[in-house]
């Protein structure tokens, strides 16, 4: 691996560019990768509006190179190489967060190239979005760009992040509430089953006592019991009472099990319905974004036979709309 002298110039990527590598020639660092990502960061900084997204991605990749040796040299490296371009610690951290989001979206197969139309502030706002709303936010940003011809502002993205986060929180709260209800039923069911088990054990004990009453009479009758017949009757009464109690407990267990099953079925149905709605919403957005008015007009004008096909497809969509909402005219 070739070494660079402190302050030695690099081949210019965009005008004359000099990197200060003083103190950063650690053998554990991949200098070629560091040079590549650093020059890319500086190049994109010089054209921030157009290249903000690429700058963030390279900043994230550059930071990963320094993760090998920790944070000790990272801060000084950034100060020496990026501060003169107006990028300070807070901006660098925001760029890293955003670059990580872009990399993750890319790994999941999402096309985020349209985010290049966002300003740096808007892109940083996108990078601050929680993980559980990023994919939905990306779809919303694309839709805004499609409708307006330009991307949303940083304030608009922040507001949308708050809305999406609230939706996620509401869904999580509802699921938590349903889970709590199922948990309470489980607890009650377990308690009743324990009571039923204890009642059965008590009945068995009383039966054994009834069978052995002769032996008990020989030793000593319980206080208040006159003779063996009275003892037998007392035990049988206790058995009857316990059986009645067991029947009530078993009936309650059956009721609780039915409620538990209904709650689980309802929860599964809600989850299935929610997934179906989200899938439908995503499919519709994808269709409207792909088949724009301009594209449809081109299809229509390309061949007269296409008009009949488009009409047939439109009727199919109308039928789907009727299924979704019978109130639509």
Q: Write out pLDDT tens, residues 21-50.
A: 666 666 666 777 777 888 788 776 656 555
Residue 217 reports pLDDT greater than 70: no
Residue 2 reports pLDDT greater than 70: no
For 291-310, what is the mean pLDDT? 87
For residue 95, is it within any domain? yes
Domain tally, the chain: 2
Q: Cβ of 56: how many Cβ atoms within 10 Å? A: 28
| pLDDT tens string 70-80 | 667 788 888 88
Under the banding of pLDDT at 50, 70 and 90, the label for residue 7 is very low
Same domain, residue pair 61 and 175: no
Same domain, residue pair 22 and 101: yes
Q: Check: CB of residue 121 under 8 Å from CB of residue 132.
A: no
Q: Check: CB of residue 306 under 8 Å from CB of residue 300.
A: yes
The pLDDT of residue 172:
60
Q: Check: CB of residue 81 under 8 Å from CB of residue 21.
A: no
For 315-321, what is the mean pLDDT? 82
Same domain, residue pair 198 and 106: no
Containing structural domain, residue 119? 1-128
The answer to whether the pTM exceeds 0.75 is no
Same domain, residue pair 303 and 189: yes
Q: Cβ of 218: how many Cβ atoms within 10 Å? A: 9
The pLDDT of residue 15:
47
Please give the C-alpha separations between residue 63 and each of 77, 95, 98, 127, 322, in angstroms, as whole numbers. 11, 10, 12, 16, 53
For 93-111, what is the mean pLDDT? 84
For residue 108, is it within any domain? yes
For residue 22, is it within any domain? yes
Same domain, residue pair 72 and 188: no
Residue entry with tokens 């068995």:
204
For residue 329, is it within any domain? no
């Amino acid at each position: 691996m070739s070494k660079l002298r402190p302050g030695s110039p690099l081949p210019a990527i965009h005008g004359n560019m000099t990197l200060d590598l003083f103190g950063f020639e650690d053998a554990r660092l991949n200098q070629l990768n560091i040079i590549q990502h650093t020059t890319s960061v500086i190049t994109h900084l010089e054209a921030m509006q157009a290249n903000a997204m690429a700058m963030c991605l390279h900043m994230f990749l550059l930071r990963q190179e320094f993760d090998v040796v920790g944070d000790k040299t990272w801060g000084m490296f950034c100060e020496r190489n990026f501060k003169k371009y107006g990028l300070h610690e807070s901006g660098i951290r925001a760029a890293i967060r955003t670059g990580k989001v872009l990399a993750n979206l890319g790994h999941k197969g999402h096309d985020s190239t349209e985010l290049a139309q966002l300003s740096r502030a808007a892109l940083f706002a996108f990078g601050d979005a929680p993980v559980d709303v990023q994919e939905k936010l990306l779809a919303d940003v694309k839709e805004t760009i499609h409708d307006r011809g330009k991307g949303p502002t940083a304030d608009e993205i922040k507001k949308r992040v708050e809305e999406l986060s609230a939706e996620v929180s509401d869904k999580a709260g509802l699921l938590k509430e349903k889970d709590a209800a199922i948990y309470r039923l489980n607890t009650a069911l377990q308690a009743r089953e324990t009571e039923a088990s204890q009642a059965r054990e008590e009945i068995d004990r009383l039966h054994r006592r009834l069978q052995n009453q002769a032996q008990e009479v020989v030793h000593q009758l319980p206080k208040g019991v006159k003779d063996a017949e009275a003892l037998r009757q007392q035990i049988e009464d206790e058995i009857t009472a316990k059986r009645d109690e067991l029947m009530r407990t078993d009936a309650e267990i059956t009721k609780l099990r039915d409620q538990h099953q209904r709650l689980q079925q309802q929860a599964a149905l809600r989850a299935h319905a929610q997934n179906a709605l989200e899938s439908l919403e995503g499919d519709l957005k994808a269709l409207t974004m792909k088949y724009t008015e301009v594209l449809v007009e081109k299809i229509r004008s390309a061949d007269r036979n296409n008009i009949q096909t488009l009409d047939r497809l439109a009727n199919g969509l109308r039928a789907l709309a009727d299924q979704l909402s019978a109130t639509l005219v």
